[in-house]
Structure 1
Amino acid sequence: MLKSRIITALILIPLVIAALFMLPPLPFAIMTIAICMLAAWEWGQLAGMGTPVQRVTLAVICGIGLFALYWPTYISPLPMLLHPAVEGFLLASLGWWVLALLMVLFYPASAQFWKHSRFLRLIFGVLTIVPFFWGMLTLRQYGFEENSYTGAWWLLYVMFLVWGADSGAYAFGRLFGKHKLAPKVSPGKTLEGLVGGLISSALLAWLFSLYAPLHISLNTLLISSVLAVLASVLGDLTESMFKREAGIKDSGNLIPGHGGVLDRIDSLTAAIPVFACLIFLVFKG
């Protein structure tokens, strides 16, 4: 299992970096839509859709809906963030993850209010996937007219931030972990691991601010980074909660050694829109 995880990571990470820096806006948006469609296919299982036809239908609706939302922003001369739908979904992501935090904190009692409602679980999927889509695109488009690579550095930063925090949490948790973070949702996570992840993310933010072209104050970067890392942990816990209620271990088996697409991007679905919202709408970066 570990060997396959390492091999898959060594293949996927260069592909992700190449896509960030080499794809123009439209192909990048199409690639992101494809990822969101795969996530929607897997979310169908979390929402209680038992048949492949239902889940394929959900994925197709997701793809058509996202493209319909994206196209007006692509042909418009206005910056993407000036479109109300983009700003609205990014702001909605903050509200959704606050609600998700309460759901995780009060689980399993909180599940009584949503586990029997397919409609609510589908709405939760919309609030997870659509802001992630806009967060990916707004970060990638940042400063594109002046330098086509600026946004790619921002996205790479958030991804490295989450991956680094996850690795730090794993290492600290294995070495020092004693106090469970959310035992009813994910027994393997510890408070010590969370602290280790935050330390790793703060160090990474400082190093990136020194060597990468992220033109922003260090204080703003640190605050946004720490909150994004906390959101990434919440994204992981939230998916674990939904999987526990659905009675499944992995959201899928598309990625060898890693489970499904949602299993790989659950942290990013929270971290990316929260980071984008903080940088662009709260701190006006």
Structure 2
Amino acid sequence: MLKQRIITALLLLAVLLPALFAAALWPFALLLLVMIGAAGWEWGRLNGLGPVGAVALGGLVAAGGLLAYGLGWPDMAAEGTGWWLATSAWVLGGAWILRRGVAGWPALSPPLRWMLGALLLWSVWLAMVAAKARGVNFLLSVFTLVWAADIAAYFGGRAFGRRKLAPAISPGKSWEGVWSGMAGVLVLALVWIALDRYTGQSVSSLYSQLLERLGPAGLTVALLFLTAMSVVGDLFESLVKRSAGAKDSSALLPGHGGVLDRIDALLPVFPLALALCSF
């Protein structure tokens, strides 16, 4: 299993890195569009759509992205009030859905669940491409926030985990893991800010921008908030999978599960990061 995970990760990097560092925006936008379309297909399967319907939902998400790109929205969406609307939806809606629990998700009407998934995936695609339009340094700093939170939470949870966070949704997560993830993100931010200053980056990272706009205290609160919302995204996808009786969203990425399994924590974080940087 570990060997398969490594092979898949290396193949993904071989595709992602050229698009990530391309001068033009479209290679990255197109690659993400394929991934988000695949995630839309997974969402449809997890929420009761048949094979044709699931493909149609993935195609709808991809078509929405193409339309937004053609209209030039990624360049215009780097800052905007729309991200604050997305933030409010994630905070209030995420709390409401997690409070209802696994049994509450299937009680929502299927069309509402399909539309919600399509909207969430389309918005994270737009947020990621808008972040790339800001600069690679900014984009990578948002990605690594989620990765650092996940890695630190894993090791912190294994070492210190005692109190379960949401046993009915994700039994492996603990409060100690959450605190460890937050600590890991704060350390990463300090290191990244120092590197920004040392290298004189023309495009500041998320951390440097938050520090400039909000000050040290505001930076700390913002990072704790973003880390907490990454956990919400993770729990939300776990809830959807558990309600469908699925371990993974699909087997598209051997050794890693599906696309949704890899981007679940990113779903709220990217729109929220853009919202916080619009202060």
Q: Which runs of 5+ in 2 are unaligned?
A: none
Structure 2 contact 153–179 (Cα < 8 Å) conserved: yes
Aligned-residue offset at 1:231:
1.3
1:189 aligned residue (173, 185, 188): 173
What is the deviation of 1:81? 2.8
Question: Which of 215, 223, 226 is 1:225 aligned to?
Answer: 223
Does the Cα contact within 8 Å between 1:93 and 1:127 map onto a contact in 2?
A: no
Alignment of 1:1-285 (within 5 A): 1-13=1-13, 15-22=15-22, 24-50=24-50, 52-73=51-72, 79-81=75-77, 87-88=81-82, 90-98=83-91, 99-108=93-102, 110-111=104-105, 113-114=107-108, 117-142=109-134, 151-212=135-196, 213=201, 214=204, 215-218=208-211, 219=216, 220-280=218-278, 283=279
Greater alpha carbon shift after TM alignment, 8-17 vs 201-210? 8-17
**Do the aligned residues in 1 keep the contact of 2:57 with 2:118 (CA within 8 Å)?**
no
Go from structure 1 to structure 2 and tell me whether the alpha carbon gap of 1:13 and 1:205 turns closer, same or farther (over 3 Å shift).
Answer: farther
Let me know the Cα RMSD of the aligned residues.
2.2
- The verdict on how the C-alpha distance between 1:206 and 1:132 changes in structure 2, with shifts beyond 3 A counting, is same
* CA apart distance, 1:228: 1.8
Q: Secondary structure at the match of 2:72?
A: helix
Deviations 1:177-197 (A, max 9, x none): 110001111001000000110
Identity of aligned residues (%): 38
Structure 1: gaps spanning 5 or more residues: 143-150
TM-score (norm 2): 0.87
- Range with greater deviation from structure 2 (183-192 or 27-36): 27-36
Asked whether the 8 Å contact 1:131–1:273 carries over to 2, the reply is: yes
Alignment TM-score, normalising by the size of structure 1: 0.85
Name the count of aligned residue pairs: 264
Structure-2 separation of matches of 1:269 and 1:96: 12
Q: Match for residue 148 of structure 1? A: none
